Amino acid sequence: MVLRNLMRVLGSDRKDARNLTHEEAYRALDSILGGGESEILIGAFLTTLRWKGVTVEELMGFARAARDQANIPCQGVAGLVTLCPPHDGHDQYPPLDVAAALTAAAAGARVMIISDRCVPPRRGLTAANVLEALGISMTWDPSEAEDWVAKGRFAAISIAGLLPPILNLRRVRGDITVRTPLSTLEKLMAPTSSAVVLGAQVGPVLGTAVEVIQSLGHPRGIAIQGLDGGIIPSVRRRTRGIELVDKHLVPVTVEPEDFGLQSATEPELPMFGPPDEGYGTADNPALVEAAGEITMNLLRGEMGPARNAALLGAALVLKASGRCLTLAEGVDSATRALDDGGAMQVLERLRTLVR
């Protein structure tokens, strides 16, 4: 049992603890995914890492172990941007990742979203739920995702399709009830050749996330502290991020007012009362339908906070892809793609591919 020895390395309190090396972190996750550890040890290990704080070296080790066991599509696809939102989703804001991705695809980018549904602890709404509400399912097949990107410039794939052993950790994650390093790991499963747009929680994790992106060899990327730790910026206030470009890390600030996209309120989900214990937003069919309706309405031209937020998200995707040098250029390109019906056309093309 690898974890039993590593728990001694991590120590019983902050004074005794030391960080894991890259190799130790690799062996730990490799053993977890390989089914060689008990749920009790996995839970203790993840909880210890949470209170200790995860380092760049540890995340790199985890990511490389997971990538070695995963079947990641679209390696080497030119101009691809992988969107990496939180897999436990949103419970207050509609996930606008799909709208932003379709808009960026219509503006010329190739986009792949890695997502899932009903992931603990939050079990919130994700891109997977929005696609479901639009009558389209994300794919679990990496080869199918490659086909969608090649023919439609857009794909959404389940993390479980890339890395099936991650499903075996659902119960442990639900019992812990707080986010663990697995939440970050899931956002690091992009093909190394692609640019990435990664959602980060508030705090120092922003810098850690973009350093890991850089260390894993991605050519470009943006880590952004969007709504609920997602990839969609706020339309009420400034959103902070860090961009990886030409091997350099550069601060990014998204000011919605600079682009005429500021709103008095954020795009919000309707209120249906608190979820039952053990359930989340994504377990409510009415909220799933509402999230799909918000996305469809903005694709049809409805003005408002959801449209503004989706345009800012699409601009980030276009900037990360290198198609646009500035966010202002990205907003202009995204606005044209949305207003001329291009984003809706990408959706319709996807529906044809799914059938």
The CB density around residue 1, as the number of other CB atoms within 10 Å, is: 11
Q: CA angle 236-242-245, nearest 5°?
A: 130
Decide if pLDDT at 10 tops 90: no
| More confident position, 337 or 51 | 337
40, 69, 98 - which closes a domain:
69
What is the reported pLDDT for 52?
A: 86
- The Cα 227–Cα 96 span in angstroms is 10
Percent of the chain with pLDDT over 70: 96
DSSP-based three-state secondary structure for 315: helix
Q: Is 107 inside a domain boundary?
A: yes
What is the reported pLDDT for 159?
A: 95
What is the reported pLDDT for 280?
A: 84
Average pLDDT over every residue of 310-316? 98
pLDDT digits (tens, 9 = 90+) for 236-274: 999 999 999 988 999 999 999 999 999 999 999 987 666
Asked if 183 and 145 sit in the same domain, the reply is: yes
Q: Are 119 and 336 in contact (CB under 8 A)?
A: no
Decide if pLDDT at 276 tops 70: no
- The Cα 280–Cα 207 span in angstroms is 29
Percent of the chain with pLDDT over 90: 81
Asked if 114 and 236 sit in the same domain, the reply is: yes
Global confidence as pTM: 0.94
**Over the chain, what is the mean pLDDT?**
93
- The Cα 235–Cα 216 span in angstroms is 31
Average pLDDT over every residue of 287-291? 94
Asked if 178 and 306 sit in the same domain, the reply is: yes
What is the reported pLDDT for 326?
A: 96
Q: How many distinct structural domains can be found in the chain? A: 2
16, 47, 69 - which closes a domain:
69
When pLDDT is cut at 50, 70 and 90, the band that residue 16 belongs to is: low
What is the reported pLDDT for 51?
A: 85
DSSP sequence for 28-53: HHHHHHTT-S-HHHHHHHHHHHHHH-
Asked if 30 and 177 sit in the same domain, the reply is: no
Residue 21 domain boundaries: 2-69
Burial class (CB in 10 A: 0-12, 13-18, 19+), 145: buried
Asked if 56 and 195 sit in the same domain, the reply is: no
CATH code (residue 320): 3.40.1030.10
Sign of CA dihedral 258, 262, 267, 273: positive
